[in-house]
Amino acid sequence: MKGIKFAAAAAVILASPSLAFAEPQAEVLHWWTSGGEAKSVAVLQKEFTDNGGTWTDMPVAGGGGDAAMTALRARVLSGNAPTAVQLKGPAIQEWYEEGALADISAVAEAEGWADVLPASIAEHMQCEDSWCAAPVNVHRVDWIWANADVLKAHDISMPSTWQEFNAAAEKLQAAGIVPLAHGGQAWQDATVFEAVALGILGADGFRKAFVELDEDTLTSDAMVAVFDQMRTLRGYVDRNFSGRDWNLATAMVMNGEAAFQVMGDWAKGEFLAAGKTPGVDFLCASTPGDGFLYNVDSFAMFDVDGEDRQAGQALLARLIVGKNFQKVFNLNKGSIPARTDVSLDEFDSCAHLSADDMATSSQNGSLLPSYAHGMALRGAQAGAITDVVTAHFNSDMSSADAVEMLATAVANSL
């Protein structure tokens, strides 16, 4: 008798979670662990718990996400995927092809994501016909930052072509100022390279070369010109640039040691943290040429069991694309909201410029994924291109050789 009672009680206890409304659960794998980024994630975490969810944080620091990806691989292989993972660009599609992602179309359609996200960014969030990821922000990569006082002292305005930039750089160099602050790390070389490529190849050429990997474009004369400009830029960086971190290069612009830096808008965070004002102490402009290279952080939703975890996934997706989070998060991070209907009143002038350009370029088809930041190509192809770019920039290789190497490297990486 006693035994039966116990069994009945146990059955009730075991069954109760599914009887009650499933409480949203989310285990979130991300690598936003540094000061400003951690603060940004905390915003999401708070909103999630305010909406009755239980958030399990799984931050994995190190290696620009490499460590987190290794952890993710282990989790997926052992059949225990996290609920949501910070992933971006083609990596989302790669994980979808491994059959690891969930379908969150229900949330996306209820919230009308298709109407508020720029089409080319929405495309990254879709796996075939369903939605599988939620965008957090839009970083613009093709920015050029400048020290306002240095430019004024030498009577230079923000360049609108690379020729103008070269002329300004010559003038600055003669005056003993480092024209271009740069850090010799492969990804920074690639960042400058893609900004130059966008300016010289144009939006269509950029898409053909770095999205479609069209061989004719990769070996075209225009590509030779891109490498020529890279060689010219190599003359404008200081001797100690090898291995320098990007924020140290930003500091050089800040204290007037250097005039310009080509870097994504995370550099703005450095200026702001140092108490500088955009438009007064430092200037921001898009790099010469039309177009907009975006680097969009997003959370991919992994296939998980259990109603509570699926409810957590839906809630998380709804909150991430929600107006409030998009505003608060991006104010912290220096980027702009991915959805286009968020009020930008509290944002600075650089963010306004970024949002305006995003709208324009989305209209005319020049809103393009950044190759250097893993938005345009898969790891192996992007890596192969970066190898060539950095080998060329850091040696005396000729532009013609570099273009030839580029075509072989891309073919070899497929």
Partner 1 sequence: MADWLERNVPRILLAPSFLIVLIFVYGFIAWTAWVSMTRSRLLPKYEIEGFIQYERLFAAPRWDTAMNNLFIFGALFIVVSMMLGLLLAILLDQKIRIEGALRTIYLYPMALSMIVTGTAWQWVMNPGLGIEAVVRGWGFENFAFDWVIDPDMAIFAIVIAAVWQASGFVMALFLAGLRSVDDEIIKAAKVDGIPTWRIYSAIVIPSMAPVFLSAFIVLAHLAIKSFDLVIALTGGGPGYATDLPATYMYAMAFSRGDIGQAASSAMVMMAVVFAIVVPYLYSELRVKRG
* Binding footprint of partner 1 on the chain (CB under 8 A): 63, 66-67, 69-70, 73, 76-77, 91, 94-95, 98, 184-186, 189, 239-243, 378-380, 382-383, 387, 390-395, 405, 408-409, 412-413
Long-range contacts of 44-52 (CB under 8 A, 24+ apart): 44/316, 44/319, 44/320, 44/325, 44/329, 47/319, 47/322, 47/324, 47/325, 48/24, 48/315, 48/316, 48/319, 51/24, 51/315, 51/319, 52/23, 52/24
Cβ-based nearer residue to partner 1, 59 or 202: 59
Cβ-based nearer residue to partner 1, 271 or 393: 393
Cβ 91 to partner 1 shortest distance, Å: 8
DSSP label of 240: G
CA distance 193 to 126: 28
Q: How many CA atoms lie within 13 A of 106 on its CB side?
A: 9
The C-alpha angle 315, 317, 319, rounded to 5 degrees, equals 70
Q: How many CA atoms lie within 13 A of 377 on its CB side?
A: 23
Please name the residue that has the structure tokens 């931050």: 59
Cβ 119 to partner 1 shortest distance, Å: 27
Cβ-based nearer residue to partner 1, 322 or 383: 383
Cβ-based nearer residue to partner 1, 164 or 257: 257
Burial of 15 (0-12, 13-18, 19+ CB in 10 A): exposed
Cβ 380 to partner 1 shortest distance, Å: 5
Q: With contact defined as beta carbons under 8 Å apart, do 29 and 68 qualify?
A: yes
Cβ-based nearer residue to partner 1, 147 or 390: 390
Cβ 83 to partner 1 shortest distance, Å: 19
Cβ-based nearer residue to partner 1, 71 or 314: 71
Cβ-based nearer residue to partner 1, 78 or 343: 78
Cβ 20 to partner 1 shortest distance, Å: 37
Give SS3 for 26: strand
Q: What is the three-state SS of 42-72?
A: HHHHHHHHHCCCEEEEEECCCHHHHHHHHHH
Q: Which amino acid belongs to residue 33?
A: T
Cβ-based nearer residue to partner 1, 354 or 381: 381
10 contacts: CB under 8 Å, gap ≥ 6: none
Cβ 214 to partner 1 shortest distance, Å: 21
50 contacts: CB under 8 Å, gap ≥ 6: none
CA distance 265 to 109: 31
Cβ 192 to partner 1 shortest distance, Å: 14
Cβ 121 to partner 1 shortest distance, Å: 22
Count the residues in the chain: 414
Give SS3 for 92: helix
Q: How many CA atoms lie within 13 A of 312 on its CB side?
A: 25
Cβ 388 to partner 1 shortest distance, Å: 8
Cβ 377 to partner 1 shortest distance, Å: 11
CA distance 325 to 315: 13
Cβ-based nearer residue to partner 1, 89 or 278: 89
Cβ-based nearer residue to partner 1, 177 or 321: 177
